[in-house]
Structure 1
Amino acid sequence: MRVAIFTDTYIPQVNGVAKTLKRFTNYLKDHGHSYHVFAPKDFGLSSTEDVSRLKSVPFKIYPECKISFPNLSKMKKTLKEFNPDIIHIATPFTIGLSGLHIAKKMKIPLVASYHTNFDHYLQYYNLTFLENILWKYLDWFHKPTQKIFVPSKDTLNHLATKGFNKLSIWTHGVDCSIFRPALNQNEIKQKYTINSKYTICFVGRIAPEKDLETLTKIISYTKQRFGKNLTWVIVGDGPKKEDMIKNTGTDHIIYTGYLQKKELVEIYGICDLMVFPSDTETFGNVVLEAMACGTPVIGANAGGVKNIIRNYSTGILCEPQNTSSFCQAIEDCFHGSEMLKHMSKKARDYALTQDWNSIFNQLVLELERIIAPQPPILFSKKA
């Protein structure tokens, strides 16, 4: 199978969409399929045999996605040479639009994947007046597709209520051979000068849609409640990082910036809990990564996160934007050491069932059915 992927975000950008697509292309290559990715030019990277890099600038509202300036004639030429069986659009921006246009013009089977709840983002950027326009655009954009893949049951239900059909769940997995419990916690804690009894982390883009207001209030409460017995580790970067540092201070709080995989696994491995108040996630890759490392997650009972966490088993689900709910959950965990150990084991056990190969095997089967649909079964009439 030959798959052309059109996306406005791709590695080396650090976000769930880019990492998922890279993992998918690795799978395709390892299993004898071919792919070609059309993606933004970033960090000075040039095009390769498998990836066409297009000139781009950051999208102001969502810098992880780029606004590119595609050369349609050049893209068509590249695509004709690649001769894809199917086109997969991963984002609804300019590169995604190019893929949509070319698929229709060249009559190539077309699917899309829906990774971001843009409508939920609007409230955090004071742009809710654009919601109706946004949904009209997304409806128009996805209408020509033969299938829309979504990462969670919650996202599927959300789109279904907006009138979308041809929906299918393409969930996400985790590599448990990489994301695993730490065996050398003391060494890692010494590396980061962590001497406290408890450690909590937050991992994600430091931007409004992650509900930083609630996170800041949780940090403020726990600092007063646990003092020097608790260290927070904030992993990630983003437009609100400096504001957040100003609001939380740095006393018993470590801001690491973006971390490479090895260091990220170390942080997950030394933390007693991860707190993740974001209510805008279609899935929540970092939640599953933390669980794979044996770190229970206290997350918002919303979006894709609520489909990952099993309440008071692999973590705790809290009312979105309710600081008291999150703080009570932290209290429950720290006052019940046996419960914390139980959740740690259950979190790791659940993550072990979320295997990427099985997930991609199913996705490829669905793509193959679209490329070569099975003929209808004809029943002969009884005499």
Structure 2
Amino acid sequence: MLRVALFTDTFAPDVNGAALTLARWTDYLREHEVPCIVFAPEGDRAQPVGSEVERFRSIPFFLYKECQLAIPNAKQINNRLRAFSPTLIHVATPFNLGLFGASYAAKHHIPLVASYHTHFDKYLDYYRLRWLEPALWKYMLWFHRNCERIYVPSRSTLAELKNKDFNNLEIWGRGIDSTLFSPTGQREQVWAKWNIRPRKYIILYVGRLAPEKGIEILMESFKRLPERLRSQSVLVVAGDGPLSRVMDPVAHGLPADTVEWLGFVTGIDLAEWYAAADLFLFPSATETFGNVVLEAMASGTAVIGAGEGGVKDLICHGHNGWLCPANDAQAFAEAATQLLDNSVLRGQLASAGRESSRSHSWDSIFSRLLASYQDAASPKMLPAARM
């Protein structure tokens, strides 16, 4: 019988793509009567109480304090694992908890799989740490060397890791909740609900406010819109992070009411903003997938994204969205200008994006992943683990 132990440094109620995907996946496992236990850090938000999640004290990740790294308690983990008797261990982090999970798998001859969620190498440029890249890749190869499978979210990520000599790569895509994200928003209700002055155009960004997400490019591209369009538009930003201070429009030479920073927004509130927006502007060049891009597409909103990483796997330029060169604020401004001026083209992109999103079913994605889990955990002659 399949019994899964998952080690991760982010999990619900954290609000990011990896945390929400892993939480949805463990829910799916339990719905299909696959026992699962999760080892994760404590977080700043209230956490649901349950015997299926073991929480540990944590410290801030050095790249940004909002991301926590757990401090594993060896006795606590060993006791839970002995009682649980996993037949498969899944490590979703290459750091502290992931190291413990991989070591336990090797010591007890338990099949090991991993999932790759973050392009840490691409983050290094934004924090002036590019000199660490060779050591990072060397470590990542060492960490994943015993994995039966390494799950990646997109074709571009698979190609990049294959080029770095990773083996046993398999795509684990992402799905969309089409009942939540759909083109059914009422803009007037959104204006009133958030007490925001109505404008002709809404340009939306959803995501973490951090350097690697291209926040400076977001602000600069909005600033470079022609005055005739910018004066009729509002840039709505949903998210939080270390660059929240950048959301001050006055500091960018813009009128105070042209940028609305909402902070963290989830659920129906977020879905309403997606559906109300005219454009979704997403300049991040570091995505392994781009969950928010898929959410915007499902909501019937035209997307302008950076032609890098997982985003370029979701967007076919000129068909279901628009791609711009990474870190090019002028290109983003020109694309936004073209689409705001051309409602027919904007509508065509939105409609095609909506249609594209329909192929991303969570059930089909998870059923394939469960089959892969079962194959990885099936009895076989395992090579001697190297720890």
Alpha-carbon contact 1:90-1:115 (below 8 Å) kept? yes
**Match of 1:241?**
244
Any residues of structure 2 matched to 1:173-184 within 5 Å, and which?
A: 173-184=175-186
**Match of 1:213?**
216
Alpha-carbon contact 1:69-1:94 (below 8 Å) kept? yes
1:87 aligns with 2:93: no
1:144 aligns with 2:150: no
Q: Distance in 2 between matches of 1:96 and 1:145?
A: 12
In the TM superposition, what whole-angstrom CA distance separates every residue of 1:74-130 from its partner, at most 9, and x where no partner exists?
211101111111000001111111111111111110000000000000000000011
Which amino acid is 1:336 matched to?
N
Alpha-carbon contact 2:340-2:346 (below 8 Å) kept? yes
Superposition deviation, residue 223 in structure 1:
6.6
Q: Distance in 2 between matches of 1:46 and 1:288?
A: 27
Which stretch of structure 1 is more off in the superposition, 182-191 or 82-91? 182-191
The count of residues paired between Structure 1 and Structure 2 equals 375
Alpha-carbon contact 1:88-1:110 (below 8 Å) kept? yes
Alpha-carbon contact 2:18-2:117 (below 8 Å) kept? yes
Alpha-carbon contact 2:303-2:350 (below 8 Å) kept? no
Alpha-carbon contact 1:57-1:68 (below 8 Å) kept? yes
The normalised TM-score by structure 1 is 0.94
**Match of 1:24?**
25
Alpha-carbon contact 1:189-1:270 (below 8 Å) kept? no
Q: Distance in 1 between matches of 2:125 and 2:258?
A: 31
Equivalent residue of 1:65, what SS? strand
The normalised TM-score by structure 2 is 0.93
Q: 2:283 aligns with which of 277, 284, 294?
A: 277
Equivalent residue of 1:254, what SS? strand
**Match of 2:75?**
73
Superposition deviation, residue 374 in structure 1:
8.2
**Match of 1:331?**
337
Q: Distance in 2 between matches of 1:88 and 1:176?
A: 28
Which amino acid is 2:358 matched to?
L
**Match of 1:5?**
6
Equivalent residue of 1:299, what SS? strand
Q: 1:171 aligns with which of 170, 173, 194?
A: 173
1:260 aligns with 2:266: yes
In the TM superposition, what whole-angstrom CA distance separates every residue of 1:323-367 from its partner, at most 9, and x where no partner exists?
222112112211211111111111111111100010000001111
Q: Distance in 2 between matches of 1:46 and 1:23?
A: 14
Any residues of structure 2 matched to 1:166-205 within 5 Å, and which?
A: 166-192=168-194, 193-205=196-208
Q: Distance in 1 between matches of 2:107 and 2:14?
A: 30
Any residues of structure 2 matched to 1:346-361 within 5 Å, and which?
A: 346-361=352-367
**Match of 2:384?**
none
Q: 2:104 aligns with which of 99, 102, 105?
A: 102
Superposition deviation, residue 228 in structure 1:
2.4
Which amino acid is 1:24 matched to?
W
Which stretch of structure 1 is more off in the superposition, 214-223 or 7-16? 214-223
Equivalent residue of 2:311, what SS? helix
Over the aligned positions, Cα root-mean-square deviation in angstroms equals 1.7
Which amino acid is 2:324 matched to?
C
Q: Runs of 5+ in structure 1 lacking a partner?
A: 376-383
Superposition deviation, residue 194 in structure 1:
3.9
Which amino acid is 2:362 matched to?
W
Equivalent residue of 1:278, what SS? coil
Which amino acid is 1:232 matched to?
L
Alpha-carbon contact 1:201-1:233 (below 8 Å) kept? yes
Superposition deviation, residue 65 in structure 1:
3.2
Over 3 Å counting, the alpha-carbon distance change for 1:47 and 1:75 in structure 2 is farther
Alpha-carbon contact 1:194-1:231 (below 8 Å) kept? no
Alpha-carbon contact 2:302-2:347 (below 8 Å) kept? no
Which amino acid is 2:135 matched to?
I
Superposition deviation, residue 260 in structure 1:
2.1
Equivalent residue of 2:257, what SS? coil
Over 3 Å counting, the alpha-carbon distance change for 1:329 and 1:144 in structure 2 is same
Q: 1:227 aligns with which of 226, 230, 240?
A: 230
Which stretch of structure 1 is more off in the superposition, 181-190 or 310-319? 181-190
Over 3 Å counting, the alpha-carbon distance change for 1:140 and 1:14 in structure 2 is same
Q: Distance in 2 between matches of 1:282 and 1:154?
A: 8
1:345 aligns with 2:351: yes
Alpha-carbon contact 2:274-2:301 (below 8 Å) kept? yes
**Match of 2:128?**
126
Q: Distance in 2 between matches of 1:374 and 1:215?
A: 50
In the TM superposition, what whole-angstrom CA distance separates every residue of 1:44-81 from its partner, at most 9, and x where no partner exists?
64763100011112213144532222111221110111
Q: Distance in 2 between matches of 1:40 and 1:207?
A: 21
Which amino acid is 1:99 matched to?
G
Alpha-carbon contact 1:149-1:170 (below 8 Å) kept? yes
Which amino acid is 2:222 matched to?
I
Equivalent residue of 1:251, what SS? helix
Which stretch of structure 1 is more off in the superposition, 141-150 or 57-66? 57-66
Alpha-carbon contact 2:238-2:261 (below 8 Å) kept? yes
